[in-house]
Structure 1
């Protein structure tokens, strides 16, 4: 058994891809959220969590958040995976939405770029993406940020922005004593 565990929840496969890359690079144990119980997590000193971003929430993250009091003495690395670019302000918003005040000071937080395959989206997710598209399309094109421009450019297409190099800082951090 490794001292490092990678836990993930992935809806469309991008978080799973990162989780497997991280696990392979660290020779770490790997589990989906539904395959591991909080008691088992306590046996690891390094926990890396990968979850997709949906409406600003990290998929499956309650497994960590609800059990944080028992995991607070572990090295916790959180990787939120989303299809869009995130500037520093957006990363702070994600931290504020997903982490408790105590966690913000202790947990290592990363945002990794995933992808989208519109053909695989659920009907609800397609509807939400369509509504987002209509909302952004109404805005003044001159005032759009890079995320919004990128969203409009890739709407309805299959895009995969995953990048194996993006896990390097996570690997280095996990290896530090």
Structure 2
């Protein structure tokens, strides 16, 4: 759990758990939220419970929940893209916020927590993400936290019947020196 004084008031950052499934299903049912992800609409509470259970394992994998007033208003995670030892230094990053939590510092708090985990506990050097090219607010968030644009991926995802471009972004951290 995190009650960092830099976080917005009444915000608790903690590891997501299976009993968050109801809140997550509701969060991901908002068209303005799932339209910015590759998630399919109308995923059930049972589906989210299974997915959250599978993510709750030791290692680099981390799924954080942002809880406000007893309700999950955001998810953010680090995920190893492959089990290959040659990519152990890399993780994918994803973040999703409820519409009412956007623009209030919740995304910044979640990013700080993920980056601290990546840098101080998981030894990750490269964090990767994709973001829809028209999601200017999210792109600004990522750039504030050191992510750089690496390329445009044309027609990356289907959204509302049209193929939409995504921006590939990454954050590189030089390997820490040894004492």
Q: Relative contact order, CA 8 A, sep 6+: which one is greater?
A: 1
Q: TM-score, normalised by structure 1?
A: 0.30
Larger Rg: 1
Given the two structures, how large is their TM-score scaled by the length of structure 2? 0.29
| Larger helix share, 1 or 2 | 1
Give 1 or 2: higher strand fraction. 2
